[in-house]
Each structure stands twice: as C-alpha cells, then as structure tokens.
Structure 1
C-alpha cells in the first residue's frame, strides 16, 4: 500500500508539472549551448523592457560627448532605426553578429518616439512635448515592454523639461534616471521570482482534491458514489467546490496585488 501511495503521488506531481505553462529546460542545456533562434524585430516582451536602461544610457552618452539634440537623435536612429538609417557597411552584418546583437524587439517600440523627438529637435520645437506624444506600439494590448517604454518616454520628457527650465545637465539627469529605471526593472524581476513559489502552490492546491479522489478510488473506496449518490454527498461536493473556487480566486488576487507592487 505504501508503494502504491508513493507511485500515485509521483504521478500526481508529474501531471501538475506537465500542466504548467512553463516548460522545463533540458538538463543538458548547461552542457550543450544550442544556437538561439533569431527574434523577429516586431517581437516584444520582458527582454525588450530590460534593455531600456541601456538605451537611456546611450542617449546620455551621446549628449555627454558634445552632440546637439538633433545630432544625438540622428545617431541613435542609426543604431536602432531601420536599414535606411543605418550606414552601408552595417546594413547586412554577419550572421554571428546578428545573433549576438541586443534589442531585436526594442526598435519596434522606440522608433516612433525617436522619430518624433528627432523631428522636433531639428525644427527647434519642444522635445519634451514630442516625447510625451510619442506613439508606442502595443500599449493597447497591455504589453509589459510597451507599457514600460511609454513610461520611459514620459520620464525622459520630464528630464528634458527640467534641464531646459533649470539649466541642469541633461546627460546627468538621464544617467540618474537610467539607474532608477534599472532598479525598477530589477525589483519587478525579483517580485516575479519571489511569486513563482506561491503561484505553483496555488496550482498544486487546485489539483489536490482531484488527486484525493483518485487516491480514494485506488485504495478501494467509492468517493464518487458517496458524493454523487447521496444528498449529503451533493451538499459536501457543492461546499467543497465553492471553497475551492473562493480559495483560488483569493490566492490569485493576493499574488496579483503583490506582483503589481
């Protein structure tokens, strides 16, 4: 009986892990480095959001080197913009460089804002206003990277306005903001890691009643006959399902509130 119980518990664990949304990496992933597929330029996700501080630091570095805002936006467009903005020698980089090039999903998020700010700088208009009005693709779909990019443009516009009104060095403001943005992203990643355990526990507790029914049947009892064949069983089943649904909703709400920070 003990061996049967251990076997059923192992099968239950395998089912839970198989039903999860995450796929476990193969054990040999650390021993054999497989080539990663190239991401499409339009792909957006958390990896794109993690590269936003690097973009802000690049903008600050270009300004610190003595470039005017119009020159800076033109240079940054050559880095993140489409091929017509890139130099002839870098339009078709080798395959190895393409695989290692960071930010494949970043240009699709930043290109409209960079173009608006560049045009405003060339015409002598307010760059801060252009950044606030910048269109970020994917904001309507609540993409995490798009929402973070939209917030970044708003914060960069505030830095730009503060530099124009107070005379503070814009490069220093942007570098400080890049550090703040990096801390924000690191905190979000830490929350996701900390909440992985509660999410897995919620999933396990949801499946436990079903495993209990299977275990009862395997031990020779008739839990389904008691639950479905008697009035008391129907009452117990209804109360159990209600408590199960309430517990899952409550757990999901707590996890969501913790994830939102």
Structure 2
C-alpha cells in the first residue's frame, strides 16, 4: 500500500531527488539489496519514476541501467523531480538521477559499500535544492512586480473609458498611439528575454559537484587498484554521467582529472588513505559549488531590477500612461 506521494511543483528538484536517495541509502545500510530497496520505495512512494526503476530492476536489469531506462520512459510530468512540470528528460532532475546511476554502477562493479556515496550525493543535492529556493526567492519580487505592471495598462484603458477618454482608440487608431503600442510591446518582450537570460545563468549549476572524486573513492573502497578505479569511473561517466555538466576539456586538461591526480599524489607521498582524501576534496568542491551558486542567487535579485527598470516600466508608461495623455490632448480645445 502506498503511503506517501512525492510533491511536485513546490519542492526544488535537488531536494526531491535527495529525499529518495536518502531513503535508498538507509535501506542499503540496513542490508537490503538495491533491487529490493527500489521495490520497497515503490510501495512507499506513489511515483511513476520510482515505480519504473523498481519494475525494470525486478526484471533482472542492473539497477544503474534501470534508472536510465526509467528516465527515458518517464512521461512529460512524471518523476519525483519533475517539479517544473517539464519531466525528467528536460531538466536537472535527469542529471541528478544519472549521477545516482553512475554511483550505483561503480559500487556494483567494484563491490564497494554504497551507503556513504549515496549519503554524500543526497547531501549535495539537498544543498543545491536550497540554492534553487534562493533563486526562486530572488525572482519572486521582480516577477510579481512585472506581472502587476503588465496588467496595469488594461486597467488604465478601462479607467480612461470611464471618464470619457477613448484610450484604446487612441492607442490603435493614431500614429502616435500605434508607435507607443509597438515600442511598448518591444520593450516588454525585451524585458522578458533579459530576465529569462539572467535566470538561466543563475541556474547554471553543476548538478553533482565533486562526483568524480567521490566515485573514485567508492571504487578504491572496493579493493581495486587506483588505475582500475579511475578507469571504472571514466566508464561510468561515459555510460551514465550527467549530460548538463559545465563544458570542460577532456583528458589530462580536465580539472577534475587534475584534481584526482593531485589528491592521489598526496596520498602516495604521505601514506594517507586515498579514499579519505578523495572524499574530503569532494566535500570541499561541493561546498565551493554551493557557495558560488548562493552568491549568484543573491546577486540575481539585484540584476533583475535592470530589465524591470529599463524595459518593463517604460513599457508600462508607453502602454498605459501615454494613451491616456494622448487622449486628453486630443480632446483638449485648441
């Protein structure tokens, strides 16, 4: 019997995925096999995506592959992380689940315990979910103001008609009115485009910072050699890795690869456990990524004032105030 339902549309993507991953980590830590764990989650969570993973895994499909198949087979509004209503395939939720698939693949192939890795992934996703909340809060004020300003022209036209001014006729039937209409619509469109671009830039976040180092630590924890662990992680990313990761060069110039080499060199010279050093560095990368994203979210509220002041408000003047003034001037005795 299903006792819970993942809430959509309010909880950020990162937090929704993190909630499922945390429950999965607890079940795995209790000794439940991953296939059975997904089955229990499907019974407890009324959600299409989780049920899809459980169904695929019950057929004998490897769990990592089952996650990817569930992503591909989800409906437009399906999945516990489809908070935006766009579905798993079109947003950051798909990349978060792909990161989980990569972690499950590495843990399974290396024979390593996956509880710590799942817990770290869940914590990272939860922190990034907090950043999503910060971005939504920064956007709320300017967005509400813009919506109000865009409604006011209709109110102004209606008010003008009540006092005997043909504001709508002035706006549509005179050269000056048509000019105001075209300029107002142009500025409104420019303001919306500018705001959307600022929002996309603020939301440009690596969905799984430090994941490579975390997975190398998992592979090493399985008892494999360092070269084998790094090869396994590269294979995992080729198969299941997130698709929206920030662009960076491949090979030896990859910053993540350089960080792994530096940490492993430190471990070999100091004799410290490489897995602990890798997890420590992965945690630092996550903290830095969250801090940078929080700074962008805080700055977003200020930057959104620019399209509001330079585009939306002038559009309001052209669409609401100017027709009334033109109507008054047209009706004034010469």
Q: TM range, normalised to the smaller chain? A: 0.5 to 0.7
Measured in 1, the distance between the counterparts of 2:94 and 2:107 equals 20
Secondary structure of the structure 1 residue equivalent to 2:95: helix
2:27 corresponds to which residue? Answer: 62
Measured in 2, the distance between the counterparts of 1:112 and 1:229 equals 58
Shift of 1:170: 0.9
Superposed CA deviations along residues 85-122 of structure 1, whole A, max 9, x for unmatched, are xxxxxxxxxxxxxxxxx743x3x2211212323443xx
Measured in 1, the distance between the counterparts of 2:71 and 2:180 equals 54
Measured in 2, the distance between the counterparts of 1:40 and 1:60 equals 18
1:242 corresponds to which residue? Answer: 186
2:260 corresponds to which residue? Answer: none
Question: Structure 1 pair 231/58, CA: closer, same or farther in 2 (3 Å)?
Answer: closer
List runs of 5+ in structure 1 lacking aligned partners: 1-37, 82-101
Alpha carbon RMSD of aligned pairs, Å? 3.9
2:56 corresponds to which residue? Answer: 116
Question: Given that residues 109 and 136 in structure 1 are in contact (C-alpha distance below 8 angstroms), is that contact kept between their aligned partners in structure 2?
Answer: no
Shift of 1:246: 3.4
1:186 corresponds to which residue? Answer: 130
Shift of 1:176: 0.8
Superposed CA deviations along residues 29-73 of structure 1, whole A, max 9, x for unmatched, are xxxxxxxxx999798555595443232222222222234x3xx43
2:146 maps to 1:202: yes
Aligned counterpart for 2:40 among listed residues 72, 78, 93: 78
Question: Structure 1 pair 137/47, CA: closer, same or farther in 2 (3 Å)?
Answer: farther
Shift of 1:186: 2.3
Secondary structure of the structure 2 residue equivalent to 1:169: coil
Question: Structure 1 pair 198/260, CA: closer, same or farther in 2 (3 Å)?
Answer: farther
Secondary structure of the structure 1 residue equivalent to 2:70: coil
Measured in 2, the distance between the counterparts of 1:62 and 1:187 equals 28
Measured in 1, the distance between the counterparts of 2:40 and 2:195 equals 47
Residue pairs, 1:1-261, within 5 angstroms: 45-46=9-10, 50-67=15-32, 69=33, 72-81=34-43, 103-104=45-46, 106=47, 108-120=48-60, 126-135=62-71, 138-140=74-76, 144-145=82-83, 146-147=87-88, 150-164=94-108, 168-217=112-161, 221-224=165-168, 226-255=170-199, 257-258=201-202
Question: Given that residues 12 and 133 in structure 2 are in contact (C-alpha distance below 8 angstroms), is that contact kept between their aligned partners in structure 1?
Answer: no
Superposed CA deviations along residues 101-146 of structure 1, whole A, max 9, x for unmatched, are x743x3x2211212323443xxxx7433343333565454587254
Superposed CA deviations along residues 235-254 of structure 1, whole A, max 9, x for unmatched, are 33333333334334444454
Measured in 2, the distance between the counterparts of 1:259 and 1:152 equals 14
TM-score between the two structures when normalised by the length of structure 2: 0.46
List runs of 5+ in structure 2 lacking aligned partners: 206-334
Measured in 2, the distance between the counterparts of 1:142 and 1:77 equals 18
Aligned residue pairs: how many?
Answer: 195
TM-score between the two structures when normalised by the length of structure 1: 0.57
Question: Given that residues 18 and 122 in structure 2 are in contact (C-alpha distance below 8 angstroms), is that contact kept between their aligned partners in structure 1?
Answer: yes
Question: Structure 1 pair 218/141, CA: closer, same or farther in 2 (3 Å)?
Answer: same
Question: Given that residues 73 and 117 in structure 1 are in contact (C-alpha distance below 8 angstroms), is that contact kept between their aligned partners in structure 2?
Answer: yes
